[in-house]
Amino acid sequence: MLDEHNAEEEDSGDKDPRGFPTERLPDPETNAAHRAPNEADTTRSMRSRNRGRLPLSAKRWRLAQSFVTRGEKCGGYYTFREDMDVPREPQDLEVFKDFNSYDPDLHRYFNFRIDYFPGYEARASLLDWNARTWFADINDEMMEAKFPRDMSLRACISAYHITVRKNQATNIRRKRLFQFAGSFAMLTPALALSLFQDALLPDALVKGGQKALLSFGPQSMAFFGVLALFLLIGFLVTRITIGITTTHMTSAFRGNAKDLNAKLQRRMNTLRQNYTRFYKAIAEEEFSGRDSDGAEWTDRAKWWARLAMWMPKRIEYLEKFLQSEMQRIRVFRIWTDALGNLSATLTWLACAAAMLIVAQISGVSNAPFLAATILGLSGSALLAVMSTQAKFSLDNKLIRRWIGDDDWPRFSGIGLDVDFGEIIRRDKDRIRQEKLRGGGFGQN
């Protein structure tokens, strides 16, 4: 009996052929079952257990960390995981007909109450993480509360930020290691002379002092030839290893940026296309419901209009979040470049201090030892300068070029105000034409 009754309903044509429910959609202002929880207090509860991050931002950061791994093809630099899960945005209008699934998301944005005084409830000190919460962090937290469906994509952007941090730190450590290896090679003759001077040098150079060393005789030339050889070895070791690690780092940065570009472009393209579909659906509802006595089609047009206003705002807030993370990367690079340069200087000073200690312990202070030490430290200083010339991450212009933005749909190019202004103009013009003809305002 039940199947027969359902069949009669389908045959009667009462069911909307486009798949919408036949009853009117619940009024979002009065039907609490279709409303999301109020997110007004999201930024009030700041927790230091998340290292100063607000709750939703900490959740996004943990997800971003799960997207990052060491890349075997990039010399151990950090890259995105190949199985990074960033769900695709639906493109089928049938999916968006589920009012119960999407209305809470619309509510989270359009009815979000901004907390004007986040963190004001508790007393803060300089030792409290909450006192160091940036304005940008609070804005990011509000984005997470307003648009939870895009958290995975924002986590992808944060994952790129994490790869920059990790790769920058890795690059600094490796450059200091290579600088130390090159410096050790350059200072090897001086170290050897401090331990085995009698076995390595003829008496003429040891006892002859500076005059014998600068006589440029066969023994003097052989001595300086050995020093030059070790200086060359130290230079080549540092130059080649830094060149290899820079190639690996560049490959990691380029690959991460292009992956981020692909995921951002795909999501923004889909959001832009969905906006166009929703906008067209508003007008199509009028034609589908023209012969209907009910007002269901007007409710559906209202639903498409709400979705159409929501989609471009998702693009806008993704743009805002991307800008926020890119600025964090820029500031991070400034500080870490300075720290990397400082570490290069400290490494050189450590080598000089070590040679001073060796000289004091061994008691060697003749001309060959001093010449080897001075030339070795001079070469080491050159390595310190050379290991800082290429900085410790890529130039900002390269990051901007590889991530790119030329082909992305922008909120500024959608024309949300123009499109909805056109809808209002068209409807008002129809009313004006009806009044001029002496008719009413229509039956539907």
Distance, CA of 354 to CA of 227 (rounded, Å):
19
Per the domain annotation, does 191 fall within a domain?
yes
The pLDDT score that the predictor gives to residue 7 is 42
Instruction: For the chain, give the secondary structure using H, E and C.
Output: CHHHHHHHHHHHCCCCCCCCCCCCCCCCCCCHHHCCCCCCCCCCCCCHHHCCCCHHHHHHHHHHHHCEEECHHHCCCEEECCCCCCCCCCCCHHHHCCHHHHHHHHHHHHCCCCCCCCCCCCCCCCCCHHHHCCHHHHHHHHHHHHCHHHHHHHHHHHHHHHHHHHHHHHHHHHHHHHHHHHHHHHHHHHHHHHHHHHHHCCHHHHHHHHHHHCCCCHHHHHHHHHHHHHHHHHHHHHHHHHHHHHHHHHHHHHHHHHHHHHHHHHHHHHHHHHHHHHHHHHHHHHHHCCCCCCCHHHHHHHHHHHHHHHHHHHHHHHHHHHHHHHHHHHHHHHHHHHHHHHHHHHHHHHHHHHHHHHHHHHCCCCHHHHHHHHHHHHHHHHHHHHHHHCCCCCCHHHHHHHHCCCCCCCHHHCCHHHHHHHHHHHHHHHHHHHHHCCCCCCCC
Those residues whose C-beta lies under 8 Å from the C-beta of residue 347, and which sit 6 or more positions away, are 176, 179, 180, 183, 384
- Domain of 181, in residue numbers: 22-413
Q: Scan for tokens 């039956």, then name that residue.
A: 443
285 with 297: CB under 8 angstroms? yes
Q: Give the span between the Cα atoms of 368 and 49, in whole angstroms.
A: 59
Report the pLDDT value the prediction gives residue 325, as an integer from 0 to 100. Answer: 93
For residue 164, is it within any domain? yes
pLDDT at 86: 87
Nearest Cα neighbor of 111 from 24, 55, 29 is 29
Length of the chain: 444
CA distance 28 to 105: 12
- Maximum Cα interatomic distance, the chain, rounded to a whole number of Å: 123
Is 430 domain-assigned?
Answer: no
| pLDDT (0 to 100) of residue 113 | 82
Q: Give the model's pLDDT for residue 393.
A: 59
The angle formed by the CA atoms of residues 103, 324 and 416, to the nearest 5 degrees, is 45
Q: What is the spatial distance between Cα 391 and Cα 332, in angstroms, rounded to a whole number?
A: 13
Residue 318 in any domain: the answer is yes
> What's the domain count of the chain?
1
Other C-beta atoms closer than 10 Å to the C-beta of 108 total: 21
Residue 55 corresponds to which tokens in the numbers above? Answer: 């709750």
| Dist CA 44 CA 59 (whole Å) | 16
d(CA 7, CA 1): 10
- Distances 349 to 204, 335, 399 between C-alpha atoms, Å: 33, 21, 33
Predicted confidence at residue 288, as pLDDT, reads 64
CA 424: distance to chain centroid? 40
Instruction: Determine, yes or no, domain membership for 444.
Output: no
Asked if the structure places residue 145 within a domain, the reply is yes
Residue 178 is assigned to a structural domain of this protein: yes
Q: Give a yes or no: residue 4 inside a domain.
A: no
Ordered mean pLDDT values, 10 residues apiece, the chain (444 residues): 41 43 48 42 53 81 92 84 86 82 87 79 65 78 90 94 92 90 89 72 58 61 82 90 87 90 90 89 72 69 90 93 92 87 91 88 76 88 79 71 78 83 84 76 48
Residue 347 has a pLDDT of: 92
| Separation of alpha carbons 313 and 57, rounded Å | 19
